[in-house]
Amino acid sequence: MTFALVGTVYGKAHTRELAKLGGLSAVMPILGGLFVAAAMANVGLPGLSGFVGEFLIFLGAYKSGYHGGFTILHILFPLAILSIVLTAIYYLRLVQMVFYGPLKDPHYKDEVKDGTFIEILPIAFLLVISLCVGLYPKPFVDMSNATIGPLIDHIGGFK
C-alpha cells in the first residue's frame, strides 16, 4: 500500500526528493489521508494489520522461552521494540515532511491534483483489507497455521 502511494505521489509531483515535497495535503487531501493510514498500518497501530503481525511475533517470542533464564531473546526482544520505535519515528517524520507544513513548491498548487478514482480505489481496497486483518485476524491466522503447522512439525516443532 505504501509503495503504491509513493508511486502515485511521484506520478503527480514528478519528484521523490523530500526537500522538494511538503504541504501536499493541501492539494492531495485524499492521498494524504491514505498515506497516513498506510503509515499507521506499517507502524503497527492496533486495529490495522501491522499490529497483528507484531503482536504475534512478540507473543511467540515470549512463549518460546523469554521468561526463563538468559537467552538470545533477551537481546533480540529489546532490539525489536527499538525497531518499532524507530519505524514510528521514520514514518511520522516522513508524513510530516511530505504532507504537512507549508506548500514548498508554489507550482504544486496549480499543477498537482488529488488522486483519481482509479488511483485511489486499489489503495483504499488494500486499506480495507488491512482493517479486516487488524480487526478480525482469525481467518488469516488460521490460514497461515494450516500451511506453517506441518512445516513446524516436520522440523521438530518448538521446544
pTM assigned to the model: 0.84
Distance of CA 92 to the CA centre of its chain: 11
Q: Please check whether residue 158 lies inside any domain of the structure.
A: no
> What 3-state class would DSSP assign to 150?
helix
Q: Please check whether residue 157 lies inside any domain of the structure.
A: no
DSSP 65: I
Q: Please check whether residue 154 lies inside any domain of the structure.
A: no
Report the number of distinct structural domains present in the chain. Answer: 1
Q: Please check whether residue 107 lies inside any domain of the structure.
A: yes
Q: What is the pLDDT along the chain (159 residues), one digit of tens a residue?
A: 999 999 999 999 999 898 889 999 999 999 999 999 999 999 999 999 999 989 988 887 777 765 666 777 777 788 888 999 999 999 999 999 999 989 998 888 888 999 999 999 999 999 999 999 999 999 999 998 898 888 878 887 655
CB 31 within 8 A of CB 115: yes
Query: What is the predicted pLDDT for the residue at 76?
Result: 79
Residue 76 to residues 41, 52, 71, 81, Cα–Cα distance (Å): 23, 19, 9, 9
Interhelix angle 49-61/73-99, nearest 10 degrees = 160
Q: Which domain holds residue 103?
A: 2-137
Q: Please check whether residue 148 lies inside any domain of the structure.
A: no
